[in-house]
Chain A
Amino acid sequence: QVQLVQSGAEVKKPGASVKVSCKASGYSLISYYMNWVRQAPGQGLEWMGIIDPNADRTNYAQKFQGRVTVTRDTSTSTVYMELSSLTSEDTAVYYCARSKRWLHPYFDYWGQGTLVTVSS
């Protein structure tokens, strides 16, 4: 069965970077796109970006341009999301989520989430 398993919780200081992983199993990584979505405490869901693991192309939400990098390692079926220049406003649960579409994607499978806490 399809599973997206994310790395564990992280605590980072302001100004640092964080890298969250998402390991896919039960399907071929290159056959679907992977997205990253976050949810800050008491806030709604927010889409951050998408990667095409086959073509290694990415598209990021304007809000995160220049600060987020999504990469993949096809040999381990893992996608990574790195967010830099962290502030307290980046404290959130980060999810990876699979989609069949590049344009107009909805998310058919999600990871369990990774809590990133930014605190001095």
Chain B
Amino acid sequence: EIVLTQSPVTLSLSPGERATFSCGASQSVSSNYVAWYQHKPGLAPRLLIYDASTRATGIPDRFSGSGSGTDFTLTISKLEPEDYAVYYCHQYGSSLTFGGGTKVEIK
């Protein structure tokens, strides 16, 4: 099973700042099959990025994904107030596993 490790666990940032989320895999993810989700309490998780770098339908272009092999990154270029949430990475190249999440809080 591929273990995904997300860092940091918590990010404290102000609106307008750049947010960078890291997701490290214990082994190479085939075809870079990595997705990123945003999750707010009590709501359904929201798909942001799939196949490592493809933005999902309706996702603003301030969200971008990159990476390959074992290292993947989600970037929010300028934080908006609605972006404060928990972000999860997910690999679906070999079985299906998720990272532990990174929480973005207001600084």
Contacts and interface: CB of A to CB of B under 8 A. Distances in A.
Contacts of A104: 31, 33, 92-93
A109 interface: yes
A97 B48 CA distance: 14
Nearest to A98: B47
A45 B31 contact: no
Given A45-B88, A45-B98, A47-B96, A106 B45 contact: no
A111 to B, nearest CB: 6
Contact of A110 (B44, B93, B101): B44
A83 B31 CA distance: 33
A113 B95 CA distance: 22
A111 B42 CA distance: 10
Interface in B52-102: 56-57, 88, 90, 92-93, 95-101
Interface SS of chain B: loop
Interface string A2-13: 001000000000
Given A45-B88, A45-B90, A106 B44 contact: no
Given A107-B35, A108-B56, A44 B44 contact: no
Interface size class on chain A is 10 to 19
Given A45-B90, A112-B42, A106 B35 contact: yes
Interface in A34-55: 44-47
A51 B31 CA distance: 23
A108 B92 contact: no
A95 interface: yes
Nearest to B97: A47
Contacts of A45: 88, 90, 98
Given A44-B100, A104-B31, A109 B90 contact: no
A97 B47 CA distance: 10
Interface of A: 4, 44-47, 61, 95, 97, 104-113
What 5 A-B pairs come out closest when comparing CB atoms?
Answer: A45-B98, A47-B96, A110-B44, A106-B35, A106-B50
